[in-house]
Structure 1
């Protein structure tokens, strides 16, 4: 994927997330098995956060997709992790994923967020 494709993906992810959750969005990180890039961080947050640990944890979702497979619950859609001051929402499509950190938001906004991110990832498939 060339630089312009990377920029287009980043712009679309920011736009899709901003549209669904507005100023509650804290950061967006795109990742694959081999690499990652923080494509957005809100201006009031520290830019020197240690992303390696977060990315390593969210990459476990590639295995989770295979583990859950076609369970009686249906297909995997997204994962939410709750913290004292916000949330992490992870969406994986094929061999690529995104996690978005947010301030506290309403439960129904998570599904809207995941649907928007999934749409962008599907639109930019590498296969």
Structure 2
């Protein structure tokens, strides 16, 4: 099982909480081969299909190369909007996280993605 070292987990959670505050619902780390939920807010149930979510979010690893060298610039992050909140995916190299939040101001996502990508880039190569 590949998972971030404990200090990296703490860094990811701290960055997510700093950017989202009480709106943070969940934080999940993933690679091509593994998925691990790092945080789930206490008022939510553990019924999410993490493997199913991971299969979808792993498409982001391919998106990094698909969008490389386009006039859009480098791929940075993805935000999906749902009725009850947002899902944000951030990938750096072979590591990724997705997190869910309650509704919040859209400009907070750029700060969030930047902080998480910095931490992910500091991981040892997978």
Structure 2: give runs of 5+ residues left out of the alignment: none
Greater helix content: 1
**Cα shift at 1:123:** 1.9
Deviations 1:89-126 (A, max 9, x none): 00110111110111011111000110110011112233
2:78 alignment counterpart: 79
Q: TM-score, normalised by structure 1?
A: 0.93
1:107 alignment counterpart: 106
Number of aligned residues: 126
Deviations 1:19-64 (A, max 9, x none): 1110000001100000010001111000232111111000011111
Pairing of 1:1-127 with structure 2 (within 5 A)? 6-126=5-125
2:35–2:50: 8 Å Cα contact kept in structure 1? no
Cα distance in 1 for residues equivalent to 2:69 and 2:110: 20
Tell me the C-alpha RMSD between the 2 structures: 1.7
2:86–2:103: 8 Å Cα contact kept in structure 1? yes
Q: TM-score, normalised by structure 2?
A: 0.93
